[in-house]
Amino acid sequence: MPQVSKHSFAVFPFLKTTDRIQIGGVSFRSTDDVSDLDPANAEHVRTIAKMLFLQDELRIRSASYALVPFVDMDYPHQNPHLEQLRRVRAVVAYCYSQPMPIHGDIFLASEQASLVVFSPTLVSTYLVRPEHHTELVGVHDLPEADQFGRMNGYAGYYDFKHPFWVVKGSRLYPTIPQIGLNISQNLAADVGQYLSRWSHFNAILWPADSRPPELSIRVLTAIEWFNRSASDSASEEVAIVSLAIAFESLLADREFEKKDRVTERLVDSISLLLGRVSRLDTWAQQFYKARSEIVHHGRAQALRFTIPGSPKQTAGLSHRPLLTYGRFVFRACAATLLVGAELAREVDMEEMLVTNQERYQEVCRIFVDTAISERERFSRAADIVFRLDRFSFIPEAGLDLSTMTGAMRAAAKALLGCGDRLDPALKQCAETLQSAERSADHYEELDALAVLPDKLATTAADPASPIGVFLRLAHVTWMYTFGRYYSLKGKKESGSVASSERPS
* Domain of 269, in residue numbers: 213-346
Residue 252 pLDDT class (50, 70, 90 cuts): confident
Nearest to 155 by CA among 146, 145, 166, 144: 166
Q: Could you say which of 296, 317, 346 is where a domain stops?
A: 346
Q: Per-residue pLDDT averaged across 268-284, rounded?
A: 87
Q: Are residues 98 and 147 in the same domain?
A: yes
Which H or E run includes 411?
helix 401-417
Is 189 in contact with 18 (CB distance < 8 Å)? yes
Q: Kindly report the pTM of this predicted structure.
A: 0.79
Give the pLDDT confidence score for residue 452 in this predicted structure: 74
Tell me the pLDDT of the chain averaged across its residues.
87
Q: Are residues 61 and 167 in the same domain?
A: yes
Does a structural domain hold residue 197?
A: no
Q: Are residues 22 and 154 in the same domain?
A: yes
Residue 173, SS3 per DSSP: coil
Give the pLDDT confidence score for residue 70 in this predicted structure: 92
Residue 379, SS3 per DSSP: helix
Q: How many domains does the chain have?
A: 3
DSSP labels for 124-167?
A: EHHHHS--TT----S--PPPPP-TTSEEEEEEEEETTTEEEEEE
Q: Are residues 17 and 140 in the same domain?
A: yes
Give the max Cα distance, the chain: 102
Nearest to 83 by CA among 29, 41, 24: 24
Residues ≥6 apart with Cβ < 8 Å to 21: 27, 28, 29, 187, 188, 191, 192
pLDDT score of 4 more than 60: no
Paired with 491 in beta bridges are: none
Q: Are residues 362 and 222 in the same domain?
A: no
Does a structural domain hold residue 501?
A: no
Give the pLDDT confidence score for residue 212 in this predicted structure: 78
Does a structural domain hold residue 225?
A: yes
Which amino acid would we find at residue 462? D
Residue 68 buriedness (CB in 10 A; 0-12 / 13-18 / 19+): buried
- The C-alpha torsion from 230 through 234 and 237 to 238, rounded to 10°, is -90
pLDDT score of 499 more than 70: no
Strand residues in 48-130 grouped as ranges (E): 53-55, 58-59, 64-69, 116-124
Residue 235 DSSP symbol: -
Q: Are residues 43 and 152 in the same domain?
A: yes
pLDDT score of 414 more than 70: yes
pLDDT tens for 311-368 read 544 445 567 899 999 999 999 999 999 888 888 888 888 888 999 999 999 999 999 9
Q: Could you say which of 324, 346, 368 is where a domain stops?
A: 346
C-alpha–C-alpha distance, residues 33 and 49, integer Å: 11
Q: Are residues 371 and 426 in the same domain?
A: yes
Residue 64 pLDDT class (50, 70, 90 cuts): very high
C-alpha–C-alpha distance, residues 362 and 356, integer Å: 10
Q: How long a stretch of residues is the chain?
A: 504
Q: Are residues 33 and 121 in the same domain?
A: yes
Q: Are residues 436 and 299 in the same domain?
A: no
- Among 47-51, 233-237, 344-348, the least confident range: 344-348
Is 123 in contact with 165 (CB distance < 8 Å)? yes
Does a structural domain hold residue 143?
A: yes
Is 251 in contact with 266 (CB distance < 8 Å)? yes
DSSP labels for 284-295?
A: HHHHHHHHHHHH
Q: Per-residue pLDDT averaged across 189-216, rounded?
A: 84
Q: Are residues 13 and 159 in the same domain?
A: yes
Q: Are residues 394 and 459 in the same domain?
A: yes
Q: Are residues 368 and 479 in the same domain?
A: yes
- Among 76-85, 193-202, 255-264, the least confident range: 255-264
